[in-house]
Structure 1
Amino acid sequence: MVGKIAISVVSVLLVVGIIVGVVVMVNSNGDSDSKQPHRMPSMKMVTSICELTNYKQACAGSLESVAKNDTASANDYILAVVVATLNEVKKSSEATSKVVVDKAIDELNHVAIQDCKDFFDYAVDKLEDSISLVSGSNMQNLEERAHELLSWMTAVYAFHTTCLDQIQNPDYKSAIQNGTLNSTQLSHNAVNIVAELPQILKLFNYHPTLEQNITAEAVASAATSHHHRRRLMSDGYPTWFGPAERKLLARPRAIVPNAVVAKDGSGRFKSISAAIAACPDNNKGRFIIYVKAGIYQEQVIIKKKKTNIFIYGDGIGRTIVTGRRNFGIMKIGTMHTATFANEAAGFIARGITFSNEAGPQGHQAVAFRSVGDKAAMFDCSFEGHQDTLYYQFLRQFYRNCRIYGTIDFIFGKGDAVIQDSEIVVRRPLPKQFNTVTADGREIPRGSNGLVIHNCRIIPDKFLYPIRFQVPTYLGRPWTREALTVVMQSELGDFIRPEGWKLWDGSQNHRSCEMYEFGNRGPGARTDRRNKEFARFKVIGPNQAAKYTPGLFLAAGQWLPQTGVPFRLGF
């Protein structure tokens, strides 16, 4: 990850120089003195916006053109930020294409470089989506969709860092790092700017109405007054589902799928991958795949153009997708070990077991990986050991699921909420420990992080007899700015009193954010939590409300006015 740097006095002077140069350039165009007052807001606007960023010189440069326009709107400034980032990402993609690794000699790094190219393609897609969003919005719409824009910008930055994380050869890594420096800085800036979008809009004298300004306090208050419904959303589905999706999930037997998969040949397809291939690219409607009971030994990858797939099976333990790909034995990169990978927006799954059977000796061995935005998984089981569930990027919701593993088995850089689920800790190899989570948030103002809400964390039957002999923690910080929230959950007696484990060889515990709220059970006592975690807190209801789906995933803004009741808070 490209580290944060302190801005030196020299850098600040350079920024001021750029801004002054912009103003002088405008003056030299022959404008009369009577227009001087109208130019000052532009200069102040650039200063105010760039003050939010870590890379101020890059920020000022990205806003240079719009600063010349005295009538520029808030949308113009945000658009300039996104366009500048897009232009640099395209250059980064070109630079990455020039790094060639012989697959026959070094397959691991060859694949990693190819992944970088794919990540920059994803980044271009999200930036182009962002341009469309900003261009087609007035200030009210822009404010209402600020969280969505922030999630996309956060992912764009994470694409950069994940690219570098996967490259092991220092020469290749250095070449990619140098070629992507500008886009890394601009995408980092974009996250910080979009995160403060409501404040930026106020600079243009736009103030949201009371109805639009949903606060954590309001959510917490509403949740408290409706405590009798606090464990369940009214119908158990994520708040962005419309009536059609709810009907599909409520009565899957009553629908006619677009594709049926069956091992015995009773369906149109015998493999899940073949059924997915039948989905039209950039599908606007819902493509429904029914996978009959059976064990499907295949690696399934839903590519990004296969949008809006709903896949359902005959239930946990009946419809099983399984594989054995792993890093420990096979030396396959972590993301490519996934038995099932979703890279498309709008993915929904229900009633399926996703498994990686590599065992603890396989080390990193992913059962399920998700990149696509607005992914929702219900009544599913994710079974593995190390690195079972990879919430890699963007918004994800898990409900009424089971998740099994040992080390860092729920990890990623996305925006994930796991609600009303069972988290089952397994027995690791001798002398190993267990860590339930490993979040990878990288920018404090970013949208990402992991929330475990109203779940049960328990040992499986093989760990149970020796559960006090194997150190088991709620998690550890993968990155310096990791964010993990465990709230209103039942914690078994095998959770270590210190709760959170240091990431060996790092200082991540000094700056990460690990929060707990309203947990229960013998493992929920917090008086002996690890004091080395400088920012660990037992938070109250107002702060905890920020991590409910209504605010953390902005779910309430995605729900159309269908009349279907739902719960934003606890």
Structure 2
Amino acid sequence: MANGKIIVSGVSIILVVGVVIGTIGIINNNSNNNNTQLKSHNKAVEQLCQNADDKKLCHDVIGNVNSTDPKEYVSEVVKKTMDTVIKAANMSDTLSVEHASSTTEPGMKMALDDCKDLLQSAMHELEASINLVSENNFANVYQSSAELKNWLGAVIAYQQSCMDGFDTDGEKKVQSQLQTDSLDSVGQFTALALDVVSGLSHFLSGLGLNLNLKPPSRRLLDVDEEGYPTWMSAADRKLLQDGENLKPNVVVAQDGSGQFKTVLEGINSYPKNFQGRYIIYVKAGVYDEYITVDKKFKNMLIYGDGNTKTIITGRKNFHEGTKTMRTSTFSSNADDFIAKSIAFENTAGAEGHQAVALRIQGDRSAFFDCAMRGYQDTLYAHAHRQYYRNCEISGTIDFIFGYGTTLIQNSKIIVRKPMSNQQNIVVADGTDQKNMPSGIVLQNCEIMAAPELFADRLTVRTFLARPWKAFSRAVFIENEIGDLIQPQGYIPWNPPTEANTDNCYFAEFANTGPGSNAQARAPFAKGIISKDEASQFLAEPWIQASTWVPATGISYDAGFTKA
């Protein structure tokens, strides 16, 4: 997790600091009585709360802050959010103890344990947010709004994931108790924090400061004479220069020619307090094991001999009693995780229902020349910024899903044959609040039928997306879309009800192929958007690519490739 130290554009800082401090200074100099100060305070609160969904909560939380500095308002709402998460974590602990010996609801303990872990992760996100705000002035906080929204969006992801884990009637009763007494508050306060951070621009304009500034990325891409970002470490530069000649820290090989025979052993060999990029080479083979990369194992690179040769496989599934989050063959909770030339599989089949091959939670995770093979829920882009290039992602129902900010470029999206009573949906995004910076963007990909589906591709109904949550977001840019996609393109979450269709955002730009005809798209979809609107989903504005993707050694398209 970043420590909140922010490097930003000098020119922008001068402008923002000079004008904002100057304005606040004028207000303070002219404030000869409490009434004038109160008016200034009320105006600042009004500007920040005008775009909040829950304006009363906004005024209640930041209205008592004795300051006209918007940084203090951000700080207050983030701290209040932390209080709600701590309360929820304590409640999940209590409920875990109460239901520890339950034999009638074996899934209860799994769901509650997952909630405890997720809420701990939420606390880490909020701690990073609090540190960023406390250690920086208003200009830096404003410039870092993309980072703050990234962390706060992850808190919503964890809150929603906690609720997702309760399935049976008995579990739903506990879910309701947890939700009513604490999780709803987590959602409300985190949404408010997102609204306030998103409202910083309104605050500036409300003061008459029409600076027309856009909050830039956390680190600007200054390039040296060799074309590498100036902030990149010497070790990472050497790693990129070596290209295919990577020198691994450890080698995993089933035949005993490496230090370890299992991938899990290789990953768990990560030294304590390791600095730099930890590189693991996994030789060709089929590794039948379940793996979680601990969040402490940052800057890890795992690579294989190709996604048809190095395969990590499993078959845990919901149908046989495992919670969706726990079905994943491979999970990573660590920031700056990279995988290259490797496959992640879940072989439970369509009859296994939810069965995750790959779940990614860590920020700034990247995948190149990898394969994610499964059926329902193949790729769980759980949280944070994620980038996939030259990958193969296959499945049936909601097989690319999650709460993360996900960009998939130059990849094959392969739709497989479902069970006879099922239909296919490519994307199910979990954006639950209007200012969450999350969604799933596919650019320059090929959406196609798998060989076993090809003969039936026109009779088995296949859709681009359906809205998993209230503000579900899926954007398709410059893709080749096959004729397997239904003309309506999208369906509600649970037809025939229109759940989650009021505020979802399903958009398309410059796609080609027979499935790209958008004339008959579902009425709740955005449909074809302009080039200007589509540009907000390109690599830089969407995942702040220039601040971290170059360090992965993976190329990316910064702009449109065809339009």
TM-score by length of 1: 0.84
User: What amino acid is the match of 1:114?
Assistant: D
Cα distance in 1 for residues equivalent to 2:251 and 2:550: 30
Cα distance in 2 for residues equivalent to 1:339 and 1:238: 34
Asked if 1:313 is matched to 2:313, the reply is no
For residue 142 of structure 2, give the secondary structure of its aligned residue in structure 1: helix
Q: CA deviation at 1:210?
A: 6.0
- Conserved? CA contact 1:498–1:530, under 8 Å: yes
Distance 1:282 1:202, change over 3 A: farther
Q: Any gaps of 5 or more consecutive residues in structure 1?
A: 1-31, 215-234
Match of 2:517 among 517, 520, 525: 525
User: What amino acid is the match of 1:486?
Assistant: F
Moved more, 44-53 or 262-271: 44-53
Q: Any gaps of 5 or more consecutive residues in structure 2?
A: 1-30, 218-225
Cα distance in 2 for residues equivalent to 1:522 and 1:470: 16
User: What amino acid is the match of 1:459?
Assistant: A
Cα distance in 2 for residues equivalent to 1:376 and 1:306: 15
Q: CA deviation at 1:284?
A: 4.2
- Conserved? CA contact 2:144–2:216, under 8 Å: no
Cα distance in 2 for residues equivalent to 1:153 and 1:59: 16
1:183 is aligned to 186
For residue 455 of structure 2, give the secondary structure of its aligned residue in structure 1: helix
CA deviations 1:418-465 (Å, max 9, x no partner) are 001011111111132111111111112210011000000111111111
1:193 is aligned to 196
2:432 is aligned to 442
- Conserved? CA contact 1:195–1:446, under 8 Å: no
Distance 1:277 1:252, change over 3 A: farther
Distance 1:444 1:555, change over 3 A: same
Q: CA deviation at 1:199?
A: 2.7
Distance 1:301 1:561, change over 3 A: closer
Cα distance in 2 for residues equivalent to 1:300 and 1:53: 40
- Conserved? CA contact 1:339–1:368, under 8 Å: yes
CA deviations 1:277-300 (Å, max 9, x no partner) are 121356442111111111100001
Q: CA RMSD in A?
A: 2.8
Task: State the aligned residue count.
Answer: 511
For residue 141 of structure 2, give the secondary structure of its aligned residue in structure 1: helix
Asked if 1:458 is matched to 2:448, the reply is yes
Cα distance in 1 for residues equivalent to 2:229 and 2:446: 20
2:335 is aligned to 345
Within-5 A mapping of 1:105-254: 105-168=104-167, 169-180=171-182, 181-202=184-205, 244-245=235-236, 248=239, 251=242, 253-254=244-245
Asked if 1:419 is matched to 2:421, the reply is no
Cα distance in 1 for residues equivalent to 2:366 and 2:244: 19
1:327 is aligned to 318
2:260 is aligned to 269
Cα distance in 1 for residues equivalent to 2:477 and 2:139: 33
Cα distance in 2 for residues equivalent to 1:428 and 1:565: 34
Asked if 1:88 is matched to 2:84, the reply is yes
1:6 is aligned to none
Within-5 A mapping of 1:466-545: 466-504=456-494, 505-531=497-523, 533=524, 535-545=525-535
Q: CA deviation at 1:40?
A: 1.6
For residue 133 of structure 2, give the secondary structure of its aligned residue in structure 1: helix
Distance 1:81 1:204, change over 3 A: farther
User: What amino acid is the match of 2:518?
Assistant: T
Provide the identity percentage.
38
Moved more, 352-361 or 182-191: 182-191
Distance 1:206 1:48, change over 3 A: closer
Cα distance in 1 for residues equivalent to 2:349 and 2:230: 36
For residue 510 of structure 1, give the secondary structure of its aligned residue in structure 2: coil
Q: CA deviation at 1:527?
A: 1.3
Q: CA deviation at 1:193?
A: 1.4
1:10 is aligned to none
Distance 1:274 1:103, change over 3 A: farther
Asked if 1:300 is matched to 2:291, the reply is yes
For residue 462 of structure 1, give the secondary structure of its aligned residue in structure 2: helix
CA deviations 1:260-291 (Å, max 9, x no partner) are 11111111111111111121356442111111
For residue 452 of structure 2, give the secondary structure of its aligned residue in structure 1: coil
Cα distance in 1 for residues equivalent to 2:159 and 2:432: 11
Cα distance in 2 for residues equivalent to 1:348 and 1:189: 33
CA deviations 1:39-66 (Å, max 9, x no partner) are 321122223323332333433333255x
Cα distance in 2 for residues equivalent to 1:103 and 1:273: 31
- Conserved? CA contact 1:242–1:560, under 8 Å: no
1:217 is aligned to none
